[in-house]
Structure formats: C-alpha cells, structure tokens
Amino acid sequence: KQWYQRRVRADAVRVVQCYSANNRVLKVEPDREFMLLPNNIQEVKIRFEPLDTGIKDYQVNIVDTKNRILLERWAVHTTSDLPIVSKTYDLARVPRSLHPSHSP
C-alpha cells in the first residue's frame, strides 16, 4: 500500500488536523493535531485502501482546530479494480466429528 504525499504551508502559527471524508478508505497521516509554522513545510500523507471497485471522489480537509477555519481542501479522485487472480484452490470442508481436535 502506497502513501501519497502533499505539502502544507501556513501563513501563521496554527494547530491543525486533517480529516478525511471517509477514514475507513482514505487514511491520512498525521492522524492527530499538529502544528504548522510559518515558512515551514509539513508533509501530509494519504493512503487509499478501497473496500470496493469503481471510480470515487473523496475530500481531505485541513482545519485550524483552534479557530475552526478550513485552511485547505483537497479533492482525491480514485479508481480501483478487482485484483488479478493468479491461482485458485478447491477447498473441502472436514466435518467437525472427523476433525482431530474433536476426537474423544
């Protein structure tokens, strides 16, 4: 799973937090509050972990938590497909009564 990086800059000292519109699918790090300092660059990492296939759009918001100001909003456009099946297996279920852990 690959992380994508974005850089954030602030015009003043700010305590901020990143929020994903769907944090089960779009992971953001740092995932807690952090401080932005003027003239410094902070890296924010985003990772996409799809739960289904298709094309979807998500938002990531960076909010000044003290002043409740939206500083940045990123649109994340995603595409996911089913994985390629390289091997298949036939599995047979063993009845519980024949399983070694259930022997008398």
Residues 25-35 have pLDDT tens digits of: 999 999 999 99
**pTM of the entire structure?**
0.71
Alpha-carbon gap, residue 102 to 1, rounded angstroms? 40
The sign of the CA dihedral 63, 68, 69, 70 is positive
Q: What is the pLDDT of residues 34-66, one digit of tens each?
A: 999 998 999 999 999 998 999 999 999 999 999
Alpha-carbon gap, residue 62 to 69, rounded angstroms? 9
**Across residues 59-87, what is the average pLDDT?**
92
Mean predicted lDDT score pLDDT of the chain: 88
